Structure 1
Amino acid sequence: MNETNQNAELLNFIYQNSQMGVDTITQLLDISTDENFKKHLHAQLKEYRSIHDKAAQMLETNGFNEEGLSAFEKIRTYLMVNFQTLNDDSTSHIAEMLMVGSNMGVIDAIKNIHKYQGKAEPDILELMEHLKNFEESNVERFKPYL
C-alpha cells in the first residue's frame, strides 16, 4: 500500500473516532443530570470536535475523501448508549461507559500508531498521538465519578 493510502486510512480512523466521540457525548449530555459532570462532558465534546475538525481539514488539504461513520454505525451507537442507560443513567454508570470507550480508543490508537509508524506523514501520526493522549486523560478525568 502506498504512503498516500496510509495517510488517508489513518486520517479517516481519526476522523471516525472523533466523530464517534462527538456523537456519543452529545447524546450523553441529554441523559446526564449532574451539572458538574456535564461541564466535563462539554470540555470533552469541545476537544473531540477540535480533533474532528483538524482531521477533516487534513483530509481536505491532502485531497482525500472523508469517510464518516455509516448510518448503521451511528444508529448502533445511539441504540447502545440508550440501552446501556435505560436502567442506569447514574453519573457513575455514564462515567464508566465513557472510561470503557476511551480505553478502547487508547488501544486502537496505539495499534494504529504502531501500524502506521514510518508509513504515514509525521503530522498525521502526531494527531493520532494527540487523540491517544486525550483518550488517556478522559479515563483519568472520569475516575472521580465512579
Structure 2
Amino acid sequence: MTGNIELLNYIHQNSEMGQDAINQLIPIVEDDTFKQNLESQFNEYKKIYNKAKTKIQEMDKDAKGINPLSKASSYMMINLKTLLNKSPSHISEMLIQGSTMGTVDITKKLQEYNDADKEILDLGNQLLQFEQRNIEELKRFLH
C-alpha cells in the first residue's frame, strides 16, 4: 500500500514538473509547429497528472506536489537557459535532457515498486512510454 502511494506521488510530481516546464516555455516559442508539439505534450502530462491525483484521492491520501524550492530552481534554470537562445533546437535539447532523466527515474521507480497495483503500474508505464515518445518527437527539432 505504501509503495502504491509513493509511486503515484512520483508520477504526480513528474507530470507536474513536465507541465510547469512546458507552460513556461510555450509563451517564448515562436515556431508554430514546435509550439503545437509542446501544447500536445502539456496536455498529455496533464492527463497523467490528473489520473495520478484522482487515484491518490481515491486512496484517501493527499497528493504531494513539487517542493517549492525545486519548482523555483527549475523556473530559474529554464529562464537562464533560454535567455540568449530561444530556438526550437535549443529548447528541444533541454526537454530531451529532462525527458531522459524522467525515463531513467520512472524506470527505476517501476522496478522498485514492481508489486504495486496493476492500475498504478500501468499509469507509470504510460508515463514512461510518453517520455520516450517525447524524446523521439523532439529529435526532429534538433539541428
Same fold (TM > 0.5): yes
Give the secondary-structure state (helix, strand or coil) at the position aligned to 1:53: helix
> Unaligned stretches of 5+ in structure 2?
none
CA positional deviation for 1:86 = 1.1
| Residue in structure 2 matching 1:38, options 26, 35, 39 | 35
TM-superposed deviation, 1:30: 1.2
Residue 31 of structure 1, CA deviation: 1.4
Kindly tell me the number of residue pairs found equivalent between the two proteins.
Answer: 142
- TM-score, scaled relative to structure 1: 0.95
**How many angstroms apart in 2 are the aligned matches of 1:131 and 1:64?**
21
Match of 2:124 in 1: 128
Hey, what does 2:88 align to over in structure 1?
A: 91
- Partner Cα distance (1:100, 1:93) in 2: 11
Q: 1:112 and 1:53 mapped to 2: Cα distance?
A: 19
Q: C-alpha deviations, 1:57-105, integer Å up to 9, x for none?
A: 0000011211001211111110010011112111100011111111111
Match of 1:74 in 2: 71
Please give the per-residue CA displacement for 1:5-46, whole angstroms capped at 9, x wherever unaligned.
111100000000000000000000011111110000010000
CA separation in 2, counterparts of 1:31 and 1:69? 23
Question: Partners of 1:64 and 1:130 in 2: how far apart?
Answer: 22
Q: Aligned residue for 2:135?
A: 139
Q: Does 1:55 align with 2:52?
A: yes
Aligned to 2:65, what secondary structure does the other structure show? Answer: coil
Partner of 1:6: 3
**Among the aligned pairs, what percent are the same residue?**
41
Q: Does 1:107 align with 2:100?
A: no
For the aligned residues, what is the CA RMSD?
A: 0.7
Give the TM-score taking structure 2 as reference length.
Answer: 0.97
Runs of 5+ unmatched residues, structure 1 = none
